[in-house]
Amino acid sequence: MANPRTDTTNLPRLGQGFYWQDLEVGQRFRTFRRTVTETDLVNFIGVTGMLEAIFIDAYYEEGAIPGRPVPAVLTYSLIEGLLLQSMIQGTGLASLEVHKKVLKSVMVGDTVFAEVEITGLRPTSKGNRAIVTSQVDIYNERDEQVITYTVTRMLAGRPGAQ
């Protein structure tokens, strides 16, 4: 007999992402908000090697964007992190394709969030998986759209389902 204090197989898992069967075309979500900090910028450019003057010199005056802009890929990554923690944790099998358009600069101190709409859902022929396409629109705290992208992912199905 299993010890009831260690047998957690019947407890719901906090943070568990959606199985593809939980989604439908037209379904919409909104992420939490996330403020982009100077530390985020410094860590990101250090890890990626994106040591471009507009990102490393707070007083750089020759760039087209005044202030402390952050790489668009940092903004995208922060939103993908929010989605992973809430929508696809434990169910996301692969990111297959991304089409992204940057509309406006994001600056250190801006707060971003995303609205997500499921635009496609196609179960695969085997393996209890599906190809899920989503439209993701990222906004800043002024409700200005800063990035839009379409992402196609493979998601797992509910265990035991066919």
- Whether residue 9 is contained in a domain is answered as no
- Whether residue 7 is contained in a domain is answered as no
- Whether residue 27 is contained in a domain is answered as yes
Predicted confidence band at 127 (pLDDT cuts at 50, 70, 90)? Answer: confident
- Whether residue 37 is contained in a domain is answered as yes
- Whether residue 79 is contained in a domain is answered as yes
- Domain range for residue 102? 20-156
The CATH number linked to 111 is 3.10.129.10
Predicted confidence band at 30 (pLDDT cuts at 50, 70, 90)? Answer: very high
Predicted confidence band at 134 (pLDDT cuts at 50, 70, 90)? Answer: very high
Task: Give the mean pLDDT of 107-135.
Answer: 96
Give the count of domains, the chain: 1
Predicted confidence band at 60 (pLDDT cuts at 50, 70, 90)? Answer: confident
Predicted confidence band at 11 (pLDDT cuts at 50, 70, 90)? Answer: confident
- Whether residue 3 is contained in a domain is answered as no
Chain segment 79-116, per-residue pLDDT in tens? 999 999 989 999 999 999 999 999 999 999 999 999 99
pTM of the model: 0.90
- Whether residue 13 is contained in a domain is answered as no
pLDDT at 8: 63
Kindly write down the DSSP assignment for every residue of the chain, as one continuous string.
---TTT--TTSPPTT----GGG--TT-EEEPPPEE--HHHHHHHHHHHT---HHHH-TT--SSSS-S-B--HHHHHHHHHHHHIIIIITTTEEEEEEEEEEE-S--BTT-EEEEEEEEEEEEE-SSSSEEEEEEEEEEE-TT--EEEEEEEEEEEEPPTT--
Mean pLDDT, the chain, integer? 92
- Whether residue 4 is contained in a domain is answered as no
Task: Give the mean pLDDT of 123-152.
Answer: 96
